[in-house]
């Protein structure tokens, strides 16, 4: 097949990482059927070199900070176990237009698919990252079982309630997720409303949880982004195991959490 990128080695590295992470999401049971989606901002110096035959699709919103930026995205209706086998057959490359209010799909011989149904959420998050210049390139959404189960707990009403449980279960959670998790109340998936709520929550948090639905995370690589989800899921499992054993988990105390927050500054500076 004809090479469509000027620096194929970097693209191949990203696709290999997509394969590995998609496989793990499937093995964990976090991506039933076609659940979950991934998008990766391609490096600045990699530009799509062939767009012939590609139609332009208009977007409901404009994403000015993403003008002419290129992304790999998993496709709507595709299963993660299939993404793990072939990221290109179950995902696609898109480039935003010069105004940021439309996009083009790179046509491949076997590829007539469309971006993930959470496309607006992904673009909105990437646009926010570009505006604040913090450097994250990956947006990942998955149906992490432990987190969905935890948000069924009626005493969790907001982000503070969620963080009170998760940040206290294990030191690593505070160290690597120092801003905690944002909680978005249940909103119909795939809508502008849930995209707006998610973007707003990412302004103050490292991870965003969709109540009774799943989790969103951002990072500078696919592996780092997955690790953030993995850490909070372990915290949730610890909480459930304590409750299942018949005792209330004590959790870390406030002074211990404050010490860990200072330690986190060294890791994340």
Q: Tell me: the pLDDT tens digits for 62-108?
A: 999 999 999 999 999 999 999 999 999 999 999 999 999 999 887 55
* pLDDT interval class at 1 (50, 70, 90): very low
Distance of CA 21 to the CA centre of its chain: 12
pLDDT for position 96: 93
Count other Cβ atoms within 10 Å, centred on residue 102: 16
Identify which of 69, 137, 129, 131 has the alpha carbon closest to the alpha carbon of residue 99: 69
The CATH class, in words, for 144-269 is alpha beta
Whether 118 is catalytic is: yes
Entry pTM = 0.91
User: For the chain, what is the radius of gyration of the CA atoms?
Assistant: 19
Strand partners, 215: 142, 209
Q: Give the tens place of pLDDT for each residue, 100-141.
A: 999 988 755 455 688 988 999 999 999 999 999 999 999 999
189-212 average pLDDT score = 92
What CATH fold (topology level) applies to the domain 1-117? L-fuculose-1-phosphate Aldolase (3.40.225)
Buried b (16+ CB within 10 A) or exposed e, 2-23: eeebeeeeebeebbebbbebbb
Give the count of alpha carbons within 13 A of 16, CB side only.
6
Judged by DSSP in three states, 72 sits in: strand
Tell me the per-residue pLDDT of 233-267, one tens digit each, with 9 for 90 and over: 999 999 999 999 999 999 999 999 999 988 888 77
pLDDT at res. 26: 96
Q: Quick one: pLDDT at residue 188?
A: 93
CATH 3.40.225.10 occupies which residues in the chain? 1-117, 144-269
Write the pLDDT tens digit of every residue in 29-54.
999 999 999 999 998 655 555 544 56
**DSSP string across 214-243:** EEEEEESSHHHHHHHHHHHHHHHHHHHHHH
**pLDDT of 268 over the 80 cut:** no
Active-site residue, from 16, 17, 118, 250: 118
Q: What is the pLDDT of residue 266?
A: 77
Residue 265 confidence (pLDDT) = 82
Mapped onto helix, strand or coil, the DSSP state of residue 267 is helix
């Amino acid at each position: 097949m004809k090479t469509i990128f000027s620096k194929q080695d970097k693209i191949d590295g990203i696709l290999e990482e997509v394969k590995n992470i998609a496989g793990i999401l499937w093995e964990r049971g976090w991506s039933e059927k076609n659940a979950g989606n991934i998008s990766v901002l391609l490096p600045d110096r990699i530009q799509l070199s062939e767009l012939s035959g590609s139609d332009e699709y208009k977007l409901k919103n404009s994403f000015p900070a993403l003008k002419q930026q290129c992304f790999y995205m998993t496709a709507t209706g595709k299963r993660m176990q299939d993404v793990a086998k072939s990221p290109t057959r179950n995902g696609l490359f898109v480039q935003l237009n010069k105004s940021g209010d439309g996009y083009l799909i790179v046509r491949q011989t076997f590829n007539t698919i469309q971006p993930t149904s959470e496309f607006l959420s992904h673009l909105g998050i990437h646009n926010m990252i570009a505006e604040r210049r913090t450097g994250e390139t990956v947006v990942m959404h998955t149906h992490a079982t432990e987190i969905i189960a935890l948000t069924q707990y009626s005493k969790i009403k907001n982000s503070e309630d969620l963080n009170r449980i998760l940040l206290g279960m294990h030191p690593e959670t505070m160290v690597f997720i120092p801003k905690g998790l944002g909680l978005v109340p249940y909103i119909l998936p795939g809508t502008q409303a849930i995209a707006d709520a998610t973007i707003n929550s990412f302004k103050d948090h490292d991870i965003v949880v969709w109540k009774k639905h799943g989790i969103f995370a951002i990072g500078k690589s696919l592996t780092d982004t997955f690790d953030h989800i993995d850490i909070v899921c372990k915290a949730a499992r610890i909480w459930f195991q304590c409750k299942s054993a018949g005792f209330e988990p004590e959790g870390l105390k406030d002074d211990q959490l404050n010490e860990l927050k200072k330690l986190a500054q060294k890791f994340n500076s």
